[in-house]
Structure 1
Amino acid sequence: MELEDFYNNAKCRNVKNTAGPQRHNYEEQARNCRGSRCLVQITVCLGIICLLLIAAIILQHFQVASKRGYLWGPDGLFMSTELKSWSDSRQYCRDRGADLVIINTEEKQRHISSLVKERVWIGLSDSENEGIMKWVDNSPLKQGFWLTGEPSNYGDIEDCIELNFNREKSGWSPLNSWNDDVCSVKKKGICEK
């Protein structure tokens, strides 16, 4: 806004509607003031919109922070950032409103295998009843994607299931990548909402 506009706005405050020879000049001044009032209203509205946008950005920041910086994918999957035992990995997922992933289709197995670059816990174990694999929702295993020779249940202590990313391992493929392991071994887990 230039200084001339500033002074014109100041003059608008003192516009008087009087009769006499200067009436025409006052009417023109009053018309100019109506335009500047409109400009003030637009400026106020834009200011309010800016404040609302700032509030929305701050709110979004706190919502992301409430998830503790963990990013859920559009498929509802999330890999933990911490190495934990199978049961601690499950609790980690549950603390975030999820559970360890259940893989019950070939398509889902392929998808998850494409995401992982390390050995990760999935939501399958036989820790409650030896030899009877159950998912974290207590549904029975119907289809497995085991590495050759697995599950080995070595010494009756390998009760929790991992997805093994080792593409160089003999017999590995996206559809042959599960391995049973000791539940206390620390690794990341895949959570699913």
Structure 2
Amino acid sequence: MELEDIYENVENDYIKDTTGARTQNHSQDEGKDGKCRGSRCLVLMSVCLGLMCVLLLVFITLYITITAERDLLKSYKNTVEEFNQTINSLQDNYTDLMTEKDQLKNNFNSLSQKKLELETELRKLYELGNDRFFISSELKSWSESRQFCRDRGADLIIIKTEEKQI
């Protein structure tokens, strides 16, 4: 029986030692697991919070960028509309100026023709007047013209009505 007692004692010791050690180790493991689970949970929560902050930062940045681009696009559209209005206004002014130019050109041609007619008429009067009229192509002041005429034994006259001019 001695062997049996030894085996029993060894088994009991082994069981006791193992159970005791296991109980101690198990409770220590539970404490470690609890601490480990708590720290893992804390790490996981920290990572999730960090990811949420990064995502929030990205969304805010995108929102600000999109808003700024939209405002810039509106500004460009307004600028384009102003340029179009300016172009239309300039085109209208150009059309008006071209019309006015044509009118002035017609008036100039009409006046040039009238001038030629008057010069022709003056030459006829000069020929009929037998040296009573003198036509000069030089530009002179009134007093210079009067002196020029007096040097030749004549004087300047002013004709105020159309009947006397004919």
TM-score (norm 1): 0.32
Larger Rg: 2
Q: Which structure shows the bigger proportion of residues in helix conformation?
A: 2
Q: Which structure shows the bigger proportion of residues in strand conformation?
A: 1
